[in-house]
Amino acid sequence: MYQKDAVIVGYAETKIVDKSDRDIWELSAEILEKVIIQTGIEKDEIDGLVLSSSMTAAGSVFWSQTNADMLGLDLKFTQTVDIGGCAPLGSVARAVMAVNAGLCTNVLCLFSDTQATEDNRRVRAFQQEWTNSLGYMGPPAAFGFITRRYEHQFGLDYAALGKLAVAQRNHAILNDMAVEKLRKPITVDDYLNSRMIADPIRLLDCVMVCDGASGVLVTSRKNAERKGFSKIVVPIGYGERTNFRASEAIIDITDTGHRAAGEAALSQAGVKLSDFGSFHPYDDFIIAIVMQLEMLGFCKPGQGCDYVRERSFSFDGDLPLNTGGGQISAGQCGLAGGGTNLVEAVRQMFGEAGSRQVSDTKTALVTGIGGIPYGRNWATSAVMALTANG
Amino acid sequence: MTQLNNTTEVVRDPPAPRSFSKAFWDATREKRLLLQYDPRNKKYQFIPRPTSIYDGRRQLEWREASGRGEIFSFLIASHANPPFRGHTPFAIALVTLEEGVNIMANIVNCELDKVRIGLPVKLSWLALANGANLPTFEPLD
């Protein structure tokens, strides 16, 4: 699938806020304007728009078209991608396919959500029939099952989870775009002592739902060369897996679709894990980071905490991780939240991360997690490998 | 010893069955736990679905489960939204039934410290306002 002929030439994000006083379309317009100014690619040249789904958009069955109208875009290709937290990575993957197929040239991938202020969701899934009557509280409960099972199978060092929480928090403090409420230092003890939400899930395991937007501009390599962009980031491998091991009634819930999606992305990319200069895993819960380290092959299943203990995840450490703070410390912009870590990876590779700039900007690895099914782990796992000026 | 809240006082909205799950909820009125069974692949599945997860064929049977199983994983809710607010601590577990499926349910008549992965449990029922019953599980001994 990956011809590597579509590239990212621009990125943008809004400040993440705990409650937005601005409408979702105003946030989207900010992304559009920033990308135009950054790239010099004018509005009339943008002929593709791929949107992540959003809680605010829920129920709007004409979302792509309405956004095109609000933003004044005349499009050859548009689509809304509905794979939850994987939607931003999935949007880039679909934009790349559209460009490679010759359908369009300049695609704005736009990730906006104001879930904290305006959540319009009405889920048609298993919850009403099978979990609401149990007091099941959604993602924290799902990750409660996963965490407890992980601990049963492998043992779990909660201090190692705390170390990851602290590393991300330190990055959010360096990130002006992170939600202000979370830009305060924490310690491993703060993590361990934070109150239980769905024991074993603690408050500091969880994301805080926020409002915000981000986006990237994808164009053809030919167009990027014609325009003479000096900074480009190339998606060189992508793997996506939905409903992993669907034909089994009971699965090991510590075994996730990232195992398969990671293999696919890395084999397309032709790079080794040790080549990546930074790692930007989707972080809805801290344990998800440990499980992704294992599934992607940084370490063996069950050895994630050992791996975490032995390394530094600071922007200037062994494996720079979620250098903008991740969603857990920068704030989760609803279903657009997967864009936060993606945009941070691109920013790092452009060398524009300021006081938290990583030294190795050649390659980065970004992931997604989306959707919570009944009694399994998560619905979609996505992995994208990026290289700079490739 | 802290006793888990049995959540029997919680006023739950009865689930609205779908065309392919109605048999499950109808059977709970007689306190029978039915599971979908795929006779071709000789396997059960849960939650009820409109097709076999094994081969995509729609022909499935309903078979009554033994009601015995063991805890696969669990969490203790120490914080809850209405209508469960004020009824903590309560437990939600994934229970592996003898038939080879996982079902999510509240654990009742159990002490907090006793809940563990692998705990043998048996089926019990909690009445819903519409005459149907909600499956719950309690320690076997």
pLDDT tens, position by position, B15-65: 999 999 999 999 999 999 999 999 999 999 999 999 999 999 999 999 999
The three-class DSSP label of residue A7 is strand
Tell me the Cα Rg of chain A: 19
Query: Are B77 and A250 inside 8 Å of each other by CB?
Result: no
The three-class DSSP label of residue A198 is strand
**Interface with B, mutate which of A199, A244, A377 (most B CBs under 10 A):** A199
- Angle, helices A286-296 vs A139-154, to 10°: value is 50
Chain A hits for B100, Cβ within 8 Å:
249-250
B1 occurs within a structural domain:
no
Of B14, B90, B94, the CB nearest to A145: B94
Assign A2 a pLDDT band (cuts: 50, 70, 90). Answer: low
pLDDT (0 to 100) of residue A390: 60
Please name which of B110, B141, B118, B121 lies closest in space to residue B33, comparing C-alpha atoms.
B121
Phi, psi of A134 (to 5 degrees): -105, -5
**Chain A closest-CA separation from residue B1 CA (Å):** 18
Phi, psi of A160 (to 5 degrees): -70, -35
**Amino acid (one-letter) located at A239:** G
pLDDT (0 to 100) of residue A122: 86
Range of the domain at B117: 22-139
Distance (Å, whole) CA A62 – CA A79 = 10
Identify the bridge partners of residue A78 per DSSP, sorted by sequence position.
A49
In this structure, are residues A203 and A197 in contact, taking their beta carbons and an 8 Å threshold?
A: yes
B40 occurs within a structural domain:
yes
The three-class DSSP label of residue A335 is helix
Please enumerate in sequence order all residues whose Cβ is within 8 A of that of B133, keeping only pairs 6 or more positions apart, or say none.
Answer: B28, B29, B31, B125, B126, B127
Rounded (10°) CA dihedral A259, A262, A263, A265: 160
pLDDT (0 to 100) of residue A235: 97
Query: Are A198 and B77 inside 8 Å of each other by CB?
Result: yes
Distance (Å, whole) CA A160 – CA B97 = 34
Please name which of B2, B3, B5 lies closest in space to residue B83, comparing C-alpha atoms.
B5
Distance (Å, whole) CA B140 – CA B123 = 9
Global model pTM greater than 0.90: yes
Chain B hits for A124, Cβ within 8 Å:
none
Please enumerate in sequence order all residues whose Cβ is within 8 A of that of A85, keeping only pairs 6 or more positions apart, or say none.
Answer: A282, A284, A335, A337, A338, A368, A369, A370, A371, A380
Helices (H), A194-337: 221-227, 258-269, 286-296, 304-309, 326-330
Distance (Å, whole) CA B89 – CA B80 = 9
Q: How many helices (H) and strands (E) does chain B have?
A: 1, 8
pLDDT (0 to 100) of residue A367: 98
Candidate from A16-25, A186-195, A297-306, B2-11 with smallest mean pLDDT = B2-11
B103 occurs within a structural domain:
yes
**Amino acid (one-letter) located at B35:** L
Sequence length of chain B is 141
| Chain A contact residues (CB < 8 Å to B) | 126, 128-137, 141, 144-146, 148-149, 152, 195-201, 246-250, 253, 374-375
Assign B79 a pLDDT band (cuts: 50, 70, 90). Answer: confident
Candidate from A21-25, A58-62, A167-171, B136-140 with smallest mean pLDDT = A58-62
Assign A1 a pLDDT band (cuts: 50, 70, 90). Answer: very low
Average confidence (pLDDT) over B60-82: 95
Distance (Å, whole) CA A135 – CA A138 = 9
Helices (H), chain A: 24-39, 63-71, 87-100, 127-130, 139-154, 158-173, 188-193, 221-227, 258-269, 286-296, 304-309, 326-330, 338-349
Distance (Å, whole) CA A289 – CA A327 = 12
Please name which of A15, A347, A13, A30 lies closest in space to residue A177, comparing C-alpha atoms.
A15
**Interface with B, mutate which of A123, A145, A245 (most B CBs under 10 A):** A145
pLDDT greater than 60 at residue A58: yes
ipTM above 0.95, yes or no: yes
Please name which of A164, A230, A233 lies closest in space to residue A386, comparing C-alpha atoms.
A233
pLDDT greater than 90 at residue A186: yes
B45 occurs within a structural domain:
yes
Q: How far from the centroid of its chain's Cα atoms is residue A124's Cα?
A: 24
In this structure, are residues A81 and A50 in contact, taking their beta carbons and an 8 Å threshold?
A: yes
What is the tally of structural domains in chain B?
A: 1
Query: Are A133 and B43 inside 8 Å of each other by CB?
Result: no
Distance (Å, whole) CA A90 – CA A82 = 9
First vs last Cα of chain A: how many Å apart? Answer: 17
Question: Which strands form B43-45's sheet, in the order they lie side by side?
Answer: B43-45, B34-38, B61-64
**Interface with A, mutate which of B75, B116, B117, B137 (most A CBs under 10 A):** B75
Please name which of A146, A152, A188 lies closest in space to residue A287, comparing C-alpha atoms.
A146
In order of start, what are the domains of chain A with their CATH numbers? 6-119+207-388 (3.40.47.10)
Rounded (10°) CA dihedral A141, A129, B26, B93: 0
B110 occurs within a structural domain:
yes
| Chain B contact residues (CB < 8 Å to A) | 7, 10, 12-18, 21, 43-47, 53-54, 72-81, 84, 87, 89-90, 92, 94, 96, 100-106, 117, 128, 134
